[in-house]
């Protein structure tokens, strides 16, 4: 665009007029497109958000007559364009300086595959059957029986890589001509055809109009002088007409037909000299004129030495399927064994990489491009480093979707009709799997409206139906599709959908809520209903602790405490926080130990809360925990003071169980402090009176720590018989 603008401005200057100059700013990132009704049923769309604001800032920074881009755009376009750094700049609303780059021209790359080749291809696996089918078609074409082979697959599965591998291994003795489509190509007539002709005539970006005409004329007449009458049509198509156009009086349809025929004649004549391999990529993006040329070639190559190779996504359709010389290859994602082999080539197969490999395979589900990009993103973010062998440096829990993968998935979702897109986004909020009843509850739509949309989403392979009884269930085909659809939902609507999902689960599974505590905690935790979020996070945390999943329990309980802090400060909140803190202490004992700073903070906060709510029973358990904490850390003075507080509380309550635990704690203190024997003996006598036997350091420690576990909620401390039995078993 800038080159055309410069050429046009030069003509304006020559005519004595002022030139036209434009500045363009580009940024890449997520944006929300909001519709604005303009009346009479029409709507306009405007993008909003940080990404668009940054693009506008780039426009103001761009030198006159040029294009300025951010680092995010440059990284994605490196190789396709050339750039000159303009340095960092401060942008309002952005904490760190933003690096600005000027676009200076076109780069050598045209396709994603060429970019992958630049950084080195990964191992080619799992396509032996398809390679053999292409080889058979090639043999037929060499023998003068032209063939059409179509590779059909979802984005990233390996259509282009398959063609590349076949071309590299079989191009000897063939003339290879390639044409590439782009996502905006439907609006540009003949775009892939012009690309193919530029390659055939060896036209480069540096050639001026005169040089281009000479190349076309020389190559065409050298091939066959009878093709001279095709020159005006080729010049017109390639924008090389000089002075008056000899075809200006010709009707548009006649000119179109003869232009297509001129290209067909070149193809067929060239195939007489040597077999011709024609490759057209991404037909789902081609324009009507290119489609017309393909239809013409498909009807014409049956007796020519031409192998026409095309690839496209499943939504594209054509009329060649019944031809005897047509072969359709459906490419599926890699199976477990082949995907694992590919991952081994990318990162190695050391035992320490097993969690990484499992995560990547789970997220990508065998899509080769997604595997490559996800691994590359991990290297770019420093999660993986290669120092001889690949090593994991940080947690994989915050793995982000690479923008290249996100763009592919977003474009598929955006092509859906509005109602189906909204439904898909709703399903993404509900989760990876979802029963039909829950979909009804969240959407509020009847079956006669839902079922056609769900069927269409199945046909588009966004979701699959699962065998289930008694209700129908669905699942997302791809975990990444769910994630991208989820992130495309505006925050306010997302919160509302989460709350509806929680309400739907409560209604559908009222008798089995224990089976859905994690889901309820998740949905209400992302909704505006904080009260229910805290309730279910607490229940989910306690359930996880019962199942010995203490890390999960700590995560749930910590989230519950964070949300609870946003509620009004009152006795009810203090009581709920005390319950959460006591549950947290129980799990932290196993994940961090009783002597850890995290456990100490939770116990101190629990002691403060006991004072606020006037809870003496819980206070005894909390003090037991604090005394054990200081005892374990050999903080002897605080341990003695807390032991004396425990004894005072127990004597005041006149409860034998509490007296037993208080004396056990003091006895342990005296023994571990290496004091004289009499104080320890004195402190342990009440214990012996209650449980019988002889106190030792080991038995007193076991008894005091079991006191914390059994007395976590205070009420258990009252269960004297159970505690006596535990104490006797420990001695």
**Each residue of 564-590: pLDDT tens digit?**
999 998 888 999 999 999 999 989 989
Residues 215 and 317 in one domain: yes
Residue 145: count other Cβ atoms within 10 Å of its Cβ.
17
Higher per-residue confidence, 45 vs 238:
238
Q: Which domain holds residue 17?
A: 2-106
Distances (CA, A) of 414 to 209, 411, 419, 540: 40, 5, 11, 36
Beta bridge partners of 435: 473
Whether residues 96 and 183 share a domain: the answer is: no
Q: Is 391 left (phi over 0), alpha (psi -120 to 50) or beta?
A: beta
Give yes or no: residues 129 and 89 share one domain.
no
CATH number, position 485: 1.10.10.10
Is the pLDDT score of 5 beyond 70? yes
The SS3 call for residue 312 is strand
- The whole-number pLDDT of residue 501 equals 94
Same domain for 425 and 409 = yes
- Who has greater pLDDT, 241 or 131? 131
Could you read off the pLDDT of 181-197 as tens digits, one per residue? 877 667 678 889 998 99
3-state secondary structure string across 567-618: CCCCHHHHHHHHHHHHHHHHHHHHHCCCCCHHHHHHHHHHHHHHHHHCCHHH
The predicted pLDDT at position 723 comes to 41
Residues 289 and 341 in one domain: no
Average pLDDT over residues 227-255: 87
- Alpha-carbon Rg of the chain, whole angstroms? 36
Q: Are residues 193 and 318 in the same domain?
A: yes
* Three-state DSSP string of 483-502: HHHHHCCCHHHHHHHHHHHH
pLDDT grade, residue 452 (50/70/90)? very high
Q: Strand pairing partners for 88?
A: 99
Q: Give the domain-ending residue among 468, 489, 510.
A: 489
561 lies in some domain: no
Residue 115 has pLDDT above 70, yes or no: no
- Segment (H or E) for 238: none
Torsion of CA 656, 662, 665, 669, to 10 degrees: -130
User: Which of the four pLDDT bands, split at 50, 70 and 90, describes residue 468?
Assistant: low
Asked if residue 206 and residue 242 are part of one domain, the reply reads yes
Name the token pair of 312.
């496209």
Domain end residue (candidates: 81, 106, 131): 106
What is the pLDDT, as a whole number, of residue 675?
46
DSSP 103-160: EEEE-S--SHHHHHHHH-PPP--S-HHHHHHHHHHHHHHHTT--EEEEEE--TTSSHH
Residues 640 and 711 in one domain: yes
pLDDT of residue 498: 94
Q: Is 262 within the bounds of a domain?
A: yes
- When mean pLDDT is compared across 305-309, 405-409, 629-633, the lowest value belongs to 405-409
- Domain annotation covers residue 38: yes
Indicate left, alpha or beta for 536 from its phi (over 0: left) and psi (-120 to 50: alpha): alpha
Position 731 scores a pLDDT of: 41
Averaged pLDDT, 430-455 = 90
How many domains does one find in the chain?
5
Please indicate, yes or no, whether residues 712 and 620 belong to a single structural domain of this protein: yes
Taking residues 446-475, what's their average pLDDT?
A: 84
Can you read off the two tokens belonging to residue 273?
Answer: 């000299």
If asked whether residues 621 and 484 sit together in one domain, one would say no
More confident residue, 20 or 325: 325
Look at residues 330, 357, 378 and tell me which one is the last residue of a structural domain. 330
**Looking at the predicted structure, is the pLDDT value of residue 162 above 50?**
yes
Whether 292 maps to a domain, the answer reads yes
User: Do 359 and 409 fall into the same domain?
Assistant: no
Give the pLDDT band of residue 24 (cuts 50, 70, 90).
very high
In a domain, 579, yes or no: no
pLDDT value for 398: 63
Provide mean pLDDT across the span 262-276.
95
Q: Is the pLDDT of residue 177 over 70?
A: yes
Structure tokens at 60: 């103001």
| Residue 690 pLDDT greater than 80, yes or no | no
As a whole-number percent, the residues of the chain with pLDDT over 90 amount to: 35
Mean pLDDT of the chain: 83
Q: Is residue 573 assigned to a domain?
A: no
- Look at residue 136 in the predicted model and tell me its pLDDT: 95
SS3 content of the chain, % helix, strand, coil (to 5): 60, 10, 25
Q: Is residue 546 part of a domain?
A: no
249 with 321, same domain: the answer is yes
- Checking if the pLDDT of 220 tops 50, the result is yes
From CA 602, how far away is CA 51, in angstroms rounded?
41
Instruction: Please give the full DSSP string across 154-188, using - where no structure is assigned.
Output: -TTSSHHHHHHHHHHHH-TT-EEEEEE--TTGGGS
- Nearest Cα neighbor of 524 from 502, 494, 506 is 502
Q: Regarding predicted confidence, which is higher, 496 or 433?
A: 496
Token reading at 309: 């190779």
Is residue 60 assigned to a domain? Answer: yes
- pLDDT tens string 692-731: 444 444 444 444 444 444 344 333 333 334 444 444 443 4
Higher pLDDT, 382 or 174: 174
Q: What is the Cα–Cα distance from 606 to 627, expressed in whole angstroms?
A: 14
């Amino acid at each position: 665009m800038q080159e055309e603008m410069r050429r046009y401005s030069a003509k304006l200057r020559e005519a004595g007029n002022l030139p036209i100059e434009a500045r363009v700013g580009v940024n890449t990132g997520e944006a929300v497109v909001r519709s604005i009704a303009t009346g009479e049923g029409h709507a306009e769309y405007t993008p909003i958000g940080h990404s668009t604001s940054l693009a506008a800032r780039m426009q103001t920074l761009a030198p006159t007559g040029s294009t300025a881009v951010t680092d995010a755009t440059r990284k994605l376009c490196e190789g396709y364009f050339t750039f000159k750094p303009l340095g960092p700049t401060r942008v309002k609303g952005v904490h760190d300086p933003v690096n600005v780059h000027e676009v200076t021209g076109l780069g050598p790359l045209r396709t994603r595959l060429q970019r992958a080749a630049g950084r080195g291809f990964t191992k080619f696996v799992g396509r032996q059957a398809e390679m053999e089918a292409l080889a058979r078609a090639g043999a037929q074409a060499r023998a003068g029986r032209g063939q059409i082979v179509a590779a059909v697959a979802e984005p990233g599965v390996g259509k282009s890589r398959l063609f590349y591998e076949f071309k590299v291994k079989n191009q000897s003795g063939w003339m290879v001509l390639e044409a590439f489509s782009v996502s905006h190509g439907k609006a540009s007539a003949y775009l892939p055809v012009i690309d193919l002709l530029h390659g055939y005539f060896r036209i480069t970006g540096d050639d001026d109009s005169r040089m281009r005409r000479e190349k076309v004329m020389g190559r065409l007449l050298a091939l066959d002088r009878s093709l001279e009458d095709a020159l005006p049509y080729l010049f017109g198509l390639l924008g090389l007409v000089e002075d008056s156009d000899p075809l200006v009086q010709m009707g548009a349809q006649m000119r179109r037909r003869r232009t297509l025929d001129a290209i067909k004649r070149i193809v067929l004549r060239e195939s007489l000299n040597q077999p011709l391999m024609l490759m057209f990529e991404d037909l789902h993006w081609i324009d009507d004129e290119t489609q017309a040329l393909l239809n013409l070639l498909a009807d014409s190559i049956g007796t020519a030495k031409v192998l026409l190779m095309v690839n496209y996504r499943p939504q594209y359709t054509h009329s060649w399927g019944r031809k005897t010389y047509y072969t359709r290859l459906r490419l599926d994602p890699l199976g477990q064994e082949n995907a694992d082999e590919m991952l081994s080539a990318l990162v190695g197969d050391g035992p320490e990489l097993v969690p990484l490999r499992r995560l990547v395979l789970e997220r990508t589900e065998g899509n080769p491009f997604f595997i490559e990009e996800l691994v590359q993103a991990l290297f770019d973010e420093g999660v993986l480093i290669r120092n001889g062998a690949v090593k994991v440096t940080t947690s994989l829990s915050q793995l982000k979707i690479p923008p290249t993968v996100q763009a592919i998935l977003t474009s598929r979702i955006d092509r859906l009709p509005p109602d189906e897109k909204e439904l898909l986004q709703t399903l993404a909020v509900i989760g990876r799997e979802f029963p039909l009843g829950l979909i009804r509850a969240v959407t509020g739509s009847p079956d006669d409206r839902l079922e056609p949309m769900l069927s269409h989403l199945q046909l588009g392979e966004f979701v699959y139906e699962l065998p289930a009884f008694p209700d129908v269930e669905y699942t997302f085909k791809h975990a990444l599709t769910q994630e991208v659809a989820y992130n495309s939902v505006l925050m306010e609507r997302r919160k509302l959908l989460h709350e509806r999902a929680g309400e739907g689960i409560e209604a559908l599974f009222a008798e089995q809520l224990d089976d859905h505590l994690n889901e309820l905690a998740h949905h209400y935790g992302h909704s505006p209903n904080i009260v229910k979020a805290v309730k279910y996070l607490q229940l989910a945390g306690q359930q996880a602790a019962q199942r010995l999943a203490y890390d999960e329990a700590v995560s749930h309980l910590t989230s519950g405490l964070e949300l609870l802090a946003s509620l009004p400060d009152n006795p009810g909140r203090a009581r709920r926080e005390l319950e959460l803190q006591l549950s947290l202490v129980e799990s932290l004992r196993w994940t961090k130990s009783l002597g850890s700073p995290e456990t100490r903070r939770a116990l101190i906060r629990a002691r403060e809360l006991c004072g606020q709510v006037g809870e003496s029973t819980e206070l005894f358990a909390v003090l037991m925990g604090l005394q054990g904490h200081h005892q374990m850390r050999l903080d002897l003075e605080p341990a003695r003071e807390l032991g004396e507080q425990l004894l005072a509380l127990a004597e005041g309550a006149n409860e034998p169980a509490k007296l037993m635990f208080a004396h056990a704690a003091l006895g342990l203190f005296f023994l571990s402090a290496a004091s004289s024997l009499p104080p320890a003996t004195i402190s342990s006598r009440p214990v012996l009176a209650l449980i019988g036997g002889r106190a030792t350091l080991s038995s007193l420690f076991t008894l005091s720590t079991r006191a914390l576990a059994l007395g976590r909620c205070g009420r258990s401390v009252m269960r004297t018989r159970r505690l006596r039995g535990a104490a006797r078993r420990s001695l």
